[in-house]
Amino acid sequence: MEPTAKPARSTPKAETTRSRILAAALNLFRERGFDQTTMRDIASAAEVAIGAAYYYFESKEALVMAFYQEANAAMHERIQAALDRKTDLKARLRAVVDVKFEYFAPNRKFLGALLRHAADPEHPLSPFSRETREIRERDMLHFSEALDGSNLRLPEDLRPHLPKLLWLSQMGLILFWIYDRSENQARTERLVDKSLGIVASLLKLSKSPFLRPVRRTAIELLQALE
C-alpha cells in the first residue's frame, strides 16, 4: 500500500484525473516553487475542484511524495546500469548518488518540501516513518548492491549495518544539495567526493587490528540507531 495514494480500486478515468492533478502540481512547483503554489492553483490548472485534489492526495506535500515514489522506482534500472562493470567501491557509491542527483535535478528546489517533517518519524511523510518503510528499504538495497559488487572485502560484523549507514549519509548529502546555493551546486560536488572518499578509506582500513576498538564502538552506535 502506497503512503500517498488513497483510492484502493481505481478506474482508468480516475487514474487519468489523478495524474492530471499530479502533473499540474509538479509543473507549478517547478515553475514557481512549492510554497508559492496554492492548492487552488493546482486544482484550477488540472481543471478540477479543490476537493478532487484531496480525493487523490492526502495533502499538498503528498503530491511531492508521489513524485518521489515514482522517481525511486524509475531510478532503479538506471542505477543497475550505472553499477555495471564498476569494481571500485568509491566509484560504485558515486554511481548510485549520481543517478539520483541527475534525476532529481530539475525538481531540486521543491524537494525540500518533503524534508520538512523529515525529523519526525511519526509523520507519515518522514523518510523514517512506518509509512515510507518500503521505499526506504528498496532504496537501501541499492547500497547493498554497490557494496557487494565491489572488489573490497568488508569486515563481516560491519557489513549488515552498512546499507543503513550509507543510506543515511545519502539523505544528508541530498539535504545539503537541495539547499546548496553555490553555482552548479559545486559545494555539494566537493562534499560528495570527500565524504565518499572517507567512507571508502575507512572501510579499507577498518579490517586493521589498529582500528578494532573503534569499529566495535561504531557497531554499537549503529545498533543504538535501531
Q: Which of residues 114-153 bind a second copy (CB under 8 A)?
A: 115-122
Check binding of 218 to a second copy (CB under 8 A): yes
Instruction: With contacts defined by CB under 7 A, name the span among 33-41, 116-124, 141-149, 179-187 that binds DNA.
Output: 33-41
* Cβ nearer to a second copy, comparing 129 with 144: 129
Instruction: With contacts defined by CB under 7 A, name the span among 25-33, 42-50, 94-102, 177-185 that binds DNA.
Output: 42-50
* Cβ nearer to DNA, comparing 20 with 86: 20
Q: Which of residues 61-120 bind DNA (CB under 7 A)?
A: 61
Instruction: With contacts defined by CB under 7 A, name the span among 53-61, 89-97, 172-180, 182-190 that binds DNA.
Output: 53-61
> Which CB contacts under 8 angstroms, 24+ apart, belong to 123-132?
124/3, 124/58, 125/3, 125/59, 125/61, 125/62, 125/65, 127/171, 129/3, 131/3, 132/3
* Cβ nearer to a second copy, comparing 18 with 94: 94
Q: How far is the CB of 198 from a second copy (least distance, A)?
A: 5
CB atoms within 10 A of CB 182: 10
Residue 218 interacts, among a second copy, DNA, none and using kind-specific CB cut-offs from 5 to 8 Å, with a second copy
* C-alpha cell belonging to residue 222: 549503529
* C-alpha cell belonging to residue 86: 564498476
Instruction: With contacts defined by CB under 7 A, name the span among 37-45, 114-122, 137-145, 218-226 that binds DNA.
Output: 37-45
Question: What is the binding site for DNA (CB under 7 A)?
Answer: 7, 9-11, 13-14, 17, 35, 37-40, 48-52, 54-55, 58-61
